[in-house]
Amino acid sequence: MTASPVILGIDATTGVCTVALAVGDTIITRTTRQRQGQTRAVLAAADALLTEAGLGRTGVDAVACTRGPGGFTGVRVTTGVGQGLALGLDRPVVALSTLQVVAETAWRNDPTPTGTLVLLDARMGEVYGGLFRHPPTAELGTLPVGDEWLGAPVCPPLPAGQWSGAGSGFAAWPAIADGAGLSAVNADCDPDIAAAMPLARQRLAAGEAVAAAALEPVYLRNCVTHAQKR
């Protein structure tokens, strides 16, 4: 693998399809809102980006994709396409949490806070949640604080520092932010895989990619966890 690997990133876990191609420090991306035909849309966007970069699919060194949590169909599409591409090319997969990709997106839009509380609307009166501390430099990725969870739409105890909120959970349940002490809330922050490509590169370099056959979706609703007390 080259010192600056070519990484193809995919996310369609929330109904917004984003595909990104990282070639060294250059990242190009395409985004579309696609409720139907997501698989075709993702593959078409991937091929368009490769053509723009003057590459074929065999020029890809690794595939990065979100693994959930998120909508069942979106998670299935994202992991299915990511796994299929990686299997066909015999390339490794960097599996990324959808929640962490939202945190990466929020942080790269506003690096001021200490970290981001990500809440995504999980329907059925619940949210997917996760806390992510911001790194000191743009070359590094956000760091999870504890486990991700599925639970009631409430704000968990926040670690020390200045924390912001991001994700559709705040749009579905605006009262979550009341009295939470968050510095800002971006309820419209969708996961943008392009924002997470530096994290994917970091994970790949650290040997944290997996074989395509080992990629597993994460739904959380099949294994309900609760936020740890902090």
Mean pLDDT (whole number) for 78-101: 98
* Residue with the two structure tokens 């299935």: 76
- Which pLDDT score, from 0 to 100, does residue 117 have? 99
Q: Is the pTM of this model over 0.75?
A: yes
- Which pLDDT score, from 0 to 100, does residue 227 have? 39
* 3-class SS of residue 173: coil
In 34-92 the beta strands, taken as DSSP E runs, fall at: 62-66
Domains 6-97+191-214 and 99-186 share a fold: yes
Task: Centre a 10 Å sphere on the Cβ of residue 2 and count the other Cβ atoms it contains.
Answer: 7
More confident residue, 126 or 32: 126
Angstrom distance (rounded) from CA 24 to CA 7: 9
Sort 171 into a burial class: Cβ within 10 Å, 0-12 / 13-18 / 19+.
middle
Q: Where are the domains of the chain?
A: 6-97+191-214, 99-186
- Which pLDDT score, from 0 to 100, does residue 224 have? 42
CA distance to 11, 64, 113, per residue, from 74 (Å): 8, 15, 29
- Which pLDDT score, from 0 to 100, does residue 32 have? 87
- Which pLDDT score, from 0 to 100, does residue 140 have? 87
The class of domain 6-97+191-214 in CATH terms is alpha beta
More confident residue, 160 or 24: 160
Q: Which fold has domain 99-186?
A: Nucleotidyltransferase; domain 5 (3.30.420)
- Which pLDDT score, from 0 to 100, does residue 180 have? 93
pLDDT for residue 71 is more than 70: yes
Mean pLDDT of the chain: 93
